[in-house]
Chain A
Amino acid sequence: MLAWPEWLSDPVEKENSTGALCSGTISSLVMKRRHFLYAALGGTVTVLTALSSVPGAAWAARRVATYRTRFLRPPGALAEDDFLSRCIRCGQCSEVCPNNCIKYFGLEKGVSSMGTPYITPREQACILCMKCGDACPTGALKPIQRTRKDILENVRMGHAHVDENLCLSFQGKTCGVCARACPMGTVSIKVGFLEQPHVQAGCIGCGLCERSCIQLPQAIRIIPNYS
């Protein structure tokens, strides 16, 4: 239990290292482009590592690291590469969001992500109203009906993960707040003894459990799914 839990490592970093951001129906041209980007990224990382011996550069690198936050794309988003090539940064998804949970990147994720929407579930989680998909003109966010079936089939924002070291229910106190916050019910999260949460395969990653977790820091969090 003392080992660093795997889910705490940055998912972006993990996926970059394996090079498996998305797979399947991507043309070879896009593949080449991604290899080029990885080469550029690798080069940048090498240069940054070399520079990090310099005190000022180390400070800058730490600043960069703090900005590499975990983020969710709005529901119905395409795989990250397709999403970036589709999204025209018009800002309409946030305009229709009744929950004000959609925010926009500045330069934190680089120029290619500038102006694209994201959600920080701990601040304000998605309530799955599915209005952003209707508002999106380019189909970067797929239009999805607000029905249980459609949402379960099409929304894959991420997957919740419970830290049993932090979760109150695993410490002998009955809590169960995350299970009650879940809009999808037992296909996504089941509770057992002392209302200990067990995330199921049907979790869509809306983040309402993370938003409602009473622990600080939150014991349940969404591992984003960018593919």
Chain B
Amino acid sequence: MQRYLNKLRWASLWAVFAMLVILPLVSVYQVYVASHGYRLLSPLSKRFYDVMYFFTSPFTDDPANSLDVIKGTTWSGSFFGLKISDPLAAIGQVAASLDPHWPFLVTALIPIVFTIIFGRFFCGWICPATLLYELNSNVAIWLQKIGLPTGNLHFNRRLKYGVLALGLVLSAISGSVLVANIYPPAIVGRELYYVTALGGFGTGTIFFILTLLFDILVARRGFCRYLCPGGAVYSLLGRYRLFRIKRTVKTCNDCAKCNAVCEFALDPMRDDFGQECNNCSACIAVCPTQALTFTTSIRDIPYQGPGHLGHEFNKSGQDDLPGQVA
């Protein structure tokens, strides 16, 4: 069953992305109708408005207003009246003002609790930039197939903690929440809103396109792996997450497909997930023997040795004793 989680994840990513486009569109259209008057619309426009009203009326008190239940972006928004913010927004705001504003910090509590339980699930399942970055990875693979050079450098993963620290220090010096301008989900949410409701992309688009180019030309999925300040926060919070992926050594055949699909360049085949794993479940979906499953544990299992269905294990003539190190 768990192998279908990856499909569910893609659905979730597309749904979040679609929401970020559709909600401003609906909002703009409702304001347009409210300001022009329903009676003055042409019959076709009236029909169009009725259809939209049919779908949106459960979620709004007043058709003249925009949707009430879901507002904002993944950076900060409200969901059925509950205000939810990114933990990085809370941290960045504290760093910039040096004066915690508690009503705002409380809004980051729900994501923090979820991250402590599920790890970097935001990065894999919700982040609107992840969708674009994963599609971008596919583009990089196509470019590779037609023979164009793409970058696949590896840096130290701890670089992103440096980016986080630098961003916070610069925020504190300048007195302005600068991390908001280098955090892709915040940028994507904002820019999608600008382009749908305010009539044009903003400056953040340039930065985002640069990160896409960085991913293609320098390091595959490089921004999320090595630079993202929000990813650093989620990694730290999700270090002792409750839900994590585990390899069953008895059914593993060492095919290394999991390593090939892992967007974060982890090593599931050798039980190396760490705090970087975003629980995206792509490795579960690709595993031919269903050796990878979600489990509840606050620590990874140390390396269990080669998989018992693998060529290397059989060659060494070992019994199927778990815990053997080759």
Q: Are A88 and B193 in contact (CB-based, < 8 A)? A: no
Residues of A within 8 A of B92 (CB): 88
Is A91 part of the binding interface, using a Cβ–Cβ cutoff of 8 Å?
yes
Cβ proximity bits A80-99 to B, threshold 8 Å, 1 near / 0 not: 01101111111110111010
Q: Is B98 engaged at the interface, CB distance under 8 Å to the other chain?
A: yes
Q: Which of B128-136, B147-155, B198-206 contacts A (4 or more CB under 8 A)?
A: B198-206
Q: Say if the beta carbon of B71 comes within 8 Å of chain A.
A: yes
A82–B98 alpha-carbon span in the complex (Å): 10
Give a binary string over B272-305; 1 marks a CB under 8 Å from any A CB, 0 the rest.
0000000000000000000000000000000000
Q: Contact: A95 with B175, CB < 8 Å?
A: no
Known interface pairs A86-B101, A137-B104, A138-B104; A104-B76 also in contact (CB < 8 Å)? no
Whether B101 contacts A106 by the Cβ 8 Å rule is no
> What CA separation (Å) do A90 and B83 show in the bound complex?
12
Interface-central residue, A33, A85, A86, by most chain B CB under 10 Å: A85
CA distance A82 to B85 in the complex (A): 20
- Given the known A-B contacts A104-B198, A114-B203, are A88 and B97 also in contact in the complex, defined by CB atoms under 8 Å? no
CA distance A184 to B173 in the complex (A): 40
State whether the Cβ of B115 lies closer than 8 Å to any Cβ in chain A: no
Asked whether B31 is an interface residue with its Cβ less than 8 Å from the other chain, the reply is yes
B85 contacts A88, C-beta separation under 8 Å = yes
Query: Is A37 located at the chain interface by the 8 A CB criterion?
Result: yes
Whether the Cβ atoms of A138 and B93 lie closer than 8 Å is yes
Of B50-58, B137-145, B177-185, the one with at least 4 CB within 8 A of chain A: B177-185
- Residues on B with beta carbons closer than 8 Å to the beta carbon of A84: 96, 175-177
Residue B197, interface by CB 8 Å: yes
A88 contacts which of B31, B174, B177, B197 (Cβ < 8 Å)?
Answer: B177
Residues in A with CB closer than 8 Å to B194 are: 91, 104
Chain B residue at minimal CB-CB distance from A86: B97
| Closest beta carbon of chain B to A26's beta carbon, Å | 10
Q: Does B162 contact A (CB under 8 A)?
A: no
Interchain nearest-CB distance for A56 vs B (Å): 22
* Residue in chain A with minimal CB distance to B105: A138
Min distance, Cβ A28 to any Cβ of chain B, angstroms: 11
> Distance (Å) between the CB of A73 and the closest chain B CB?
14
B173 is contacted by which of A33, A98, A113, A137 (Cβ under 8 Å)?
A: A33
Nearest CB in chain A to that of B182: its residue: A111
Q: Mark B151-195, 1 if CB is under 8 A from A, else 0.
A: 000000000000000000000011111101100001001100110
Asked whether B101 lies within 8 Å of A111 as measured between CB atoms, the reply is no
Query: Given contacts A95-B24, A112-B178, are A90 and B198 in contact (CB under 8 A)?
Result: no
B contact residues around A30 at 8 Å (CB):
98, 175
Once the chains bind, are A115 and B175 in contact (CB under 8 Å)? Answer: no
Q: With A91-B189, A95-B24, A103-B198 as given contacts, are A85 and B96 in contact (CB-CB < 8 Å)?
A: yes
B89 within 8 A of A: yes
Cβ–Cβ contact B97 & A82, under 8 A:
yes
A67 within 8 A of B: no
Q: Point out the residue from A29, A34, A88, A100 that lies within 8 Å of B180, measured CB to CB.
A: A88
B193: chain A residues at CB < 8 Å are 91, 94-95
Give chain A residues whose Cβ lies under 8 Å from the Cβ of B186: 89-90
Q: Annotate B199-240 by CB proximity to A: 1 below 8 A, 0 otherwise.
A: 000111000000000000000000000000000000000000
> Taking the complex as formed, is A36 at the interface, i.e. its CB lies under 8 A from any CB of chain B?
yes
* Residues on B with beta carbons closer than 8 Å to the beta carbon of A166: none
Across-interface contacts of B78 in A (CB, < 8 A):
92, 135, 137
Known A30-B175, A104-B198; contact A91-B190, beta-carbon cutoff 8 A: yes
- With a cutoff of 8 Å between Cβ atoms, the chain B residues found around residue A34 in the complex are 175
Does B174 lie within 8 Å of A139, measured CB to CB? no
Which residues from 80 to 138 on chain B have a C-beta closer than 8 Å to any C-beta of chain A? 83, 85, 89, 92-93, 96-99, 101, 103-104, 107
| Interface core residue of B27, B174, B177 (most chain A CB under 10 Å) | B177
Q: How far is the CA of A112 from the CA of B170 in the complex (A)?
A: 10
B175 near A90 with CB under 8 A, answer no
Interface flag for B72 (CB, 8 Å): yes
A66 an interface residue at 8 Å Cβ cutoff?
Answer: no
Contacts A27-B98, A95-B197, A135-B71; A104 near B177 (Cβ below 8 A): no
B65 at the interface (CB under 8 A from A): yes
Q: List 7 A-B contacts (CB under 8 A).
A: A27-B98, A82-B97, A89-B190, A95-B193, A111-B174, A115-B180, A139-B103
Known: A85-B175, A111-B174. 17 other contacts (CB 8 A): A30-B98, A33-B175, A85-B98, A86-B101, A88-B180, A90-B72, A92-B71, A95-B66, A96-B66, A98-B34, A98-B64, A104-B198, A106-B202, A107-B203, A137-B72, A138-B101, A139-B103
Residues of A within 8 A of B (CB): 27, 29-30, 33-34, 36-37, 81-82, 84-92, 94-96, 98, 100, 103-104, 106-107, 111-115, 135, 137-139
6 smallest CB-CB distances across A and B, nearest first, come from A85-B97, A112-B176, A106-B203, A90-B76, A85-B96, A89-B180
